Amino acid sequence: LTPLGPPRWPTSTRSTNSSAPFTTESTEPHVSPAEFLSVTYYHVAAILDPADEASRQRRLCDSLCLGGRLRVCAHGLNGALTGGAEAVRQYIEWVEERHEPRPQRAIDWKLAPVSGSELFVGLSVRETAELVTLSPGSPISPLEHTAPHVSPADFHRLLEEEAVRDPSAPAGNPPPLVLLDVRNGYESAIGRFEAPNVATLRPPLRQFSELPRWLEANVHVLRGRRVLMYCTGGVRCEAASVLLRQMRARGGEGGGEGGG
């Protein structure tokens, strides 16, 4: 790792090199180094022994005085932590070295400076069935069958292409596009994507686990369309895209284009 320096304000970078998972050199000379950082991330990977992984994670976080929440399951890791900037750097370095994420599965470490009063109180490291709760009866695994990821540039391009499509023209190839917001209703009410000629579906969810029922009731809206989904950090899109593809496989024709 490059030694920790002043973080960007705020910092949020995607790693493509496990030896340097995030950049912390400031382009603003008047910005002081952050004393405390928050880090949120998820990592889709096979965890052969989730109980052992949870134990190791708990010991490490305790030793670094990190607080927050971390889910550990057979399909990967999903966490939100806060602590001293150097402690967060050491945690990221440990995860990168231990799990060695592949370039196509690089961990998107989302970093932001926080004040001492914003630090999480306490630590919860839990072994769970899913990265994010969606289908307790039949856990969703994003290790396989997840839809392709779409970069921000491609996401924008797809919406621009759909905006100039002639709605009166016969349906062609590719099929029409639909936006699916898989966040909770209160998140969607704050802000959402909208584009000409593109329907934006906003399921009135109180919690993510309500999505399967909504999809079953509204699958006809997705029939014959490409589905471009989005959420906040990406992990809900991972799970939702698997669910959509499962529906399509059993005749629901949900499908999934991807998102982030």
Residue 12, CB half-sphere, CA atoms under 13 Å: how many? 7
Enter the tokens of residue 5: 């320096």
Are the beta carbons of 21 and 93 closer than 8 angstroms?
Answer: yes
Q: 61, 65, 73, 231: which one is catalytic?
A: 231
Residue 45 CB neighbour total at 10 angstroms: 16
C-alpha 30/C-alpha 9 separation (Å) is 11
Amino acid at 59: R
Enter the tokens of residue 111: 């970093």
Judged on CB neighbours under 10 Å (0-12, 13-18, 19+), 255 is buried
Question: What are the Cα distances from residue 218, in Å, to 99, 199, 204, 210, 242?
Answer: 39, 13, 12, 13, 17
Helix, coil or strand: residue 149: strand
* Residue bearing tokens 């989904």: 229
Pairing of strands 123-127, 258-259: unpaired
73 among known catalytic residues: no
Burial 160-173 (b: 16+ CB within 10 A, else e): eebeeeeeeeeeee
Q: Which residues are marked as active site? A: 231
